[in-house]
Amino acid sequence: MMARLRHPALLAALLLLPIAANAQQRPQQPAAKPPATKPAEQAPAEPAAPPYEPQLLQLSEIMGSLAYLRTLCGGREAQDWRTRMTALIEAEGRTPQRRDRLTAAFNRGFKAYSLTHRSCTEASQEASSRLATEGEALSRALAGRYGG
What is the structure's pLDDT at 40? 53
Q: 45 pLDDT exceeds 80? A: no
pLDDT value at residue 76: 82
Q: Note whether 117 and 124 are within 8 A (CB).
A: yes
Q: How far is 133 from 59, CA to CA, in rounded Å?
A: 11
User: To 5 degrees, how large is the angle CA 53–CA 108–CA 28?
Assistant: 115
Domain residue extents for the chain: 8-17+50-146
CA distance 90 to 14: 12
Q: pLDDT category, 41, cuts 50, 70, 90?
A: low
| Distance, CA of 114 to CA of 112 (rounded, Å) | 6
Mean pLDDT of 48-67: 94
pTM: 0.71
